[in-house]
Structure 1
């Protein structure tokens, strides 16, 4: 089975012969073996792991992303950011903490932007209300 992990600027992993892949979406952790049904899911901030026959596990931290399985032989992950690592503890402790912090900052920025948009809309509605204008001003 082939595993491909890409970011907008790089191919991070292109393994032509993996025996299994493990990833995580909102429903939890799941595994993929050769012959898996087609699948499309959104990954969370997590560590993807995989095995090559006769080799140790490999790891890649991803900052969300889309995972697809095609024809039971192709696993592709498109993510905004990916960091390879041999030390699972370090990946989980350092890299995932950074990814989570950035994701939280993005959420906070979006919330602030939505609050500003709502204030602008309220001001426009106040300005356009009929009661704002005198009886003969229209």
Structure 2
């Protein structure tokens, strides 16, 4: 089975020899084996895990996305594609967990800074408008 994980600007993973895939959507955890029926689901914050034919376990944390499974020719093999905005690969779940938490914390800090800056700009614009309106009222009161 083939597994592809794609983001808007890059192919994160393109692996041919996948024996099994596990992921989680709003209804819970599910597995996909070669020959799985065609399937489409939306992923939230999820970890997509797969086992290679050689027995290696791999993982990819995704922040929202769409998983599509296509049976392929004759029901053998097939293809699973995950389209996501953000994906982080890792072979060890605990280190992946730490990496994801660090990234999310950094993202939250960036978002907080952006909100503060946007609020500063908004307040500066309101002050400028109030100054302009204040000048207009003073001019109107004189004349």
TM-score, with length taken from structure 1: 0.67
Q: How does 1:2-21 map to 2 (within 5 A)?
A: 2-6=2-6, 8-9=9-10, 12-16=13-17, 18-21=18-21
Q: How does 1:33-44 map to 2 (within 5 A)?
A: 33=33, 34-44=35-45
More strand by share: 2
In structure 2, the CA distance between the partners of 1:24 and 1:108, relative to structure 1 (3 Å rule), is farther
Q: Deviations over 1:54-91 (max 9, x none)?
A: x5352123353634214343211345444352xxxxx1
- In the alignment, does 2:80 pair up with 1:75? yes
Partner of 1:60: 59
Q: Which residue of the partner structure matches residue 116 of structure 1?
A: 117
Large movers: runs of 4+ above 6 Å? none
Would the aligned equivalents of 1:24 and 1:48 in 2 still touch at CA under 8 Å? Answer: no
Greater fraction of residues in helix: 2
Q: Verify the 8 A CA contact 2:67 2:80 in the aligned structure 1.
A: yes
Give the CA RMSD over aligned residues: 3.2
**Larger radius of gyration, structure 1 or 2?**
2
8 A Cα contact 2:4 2:14, kept in partner: yes
CA–CA distance in structure 2, aligned partners of residues 69 and 83 of structure 1 = 19
Scaled by the length of structure 2, the TM-score of the pair is 0.65
Number of residue-to-residue matches in the alignment: 130
- Superposition pairs of residues 12-31 of structure 1, within 5 angstroms: 12-16=13-17, 18-25=18-25, 28-31=28-31
Q: Secondary structure at the match of 2:137?
A: coil
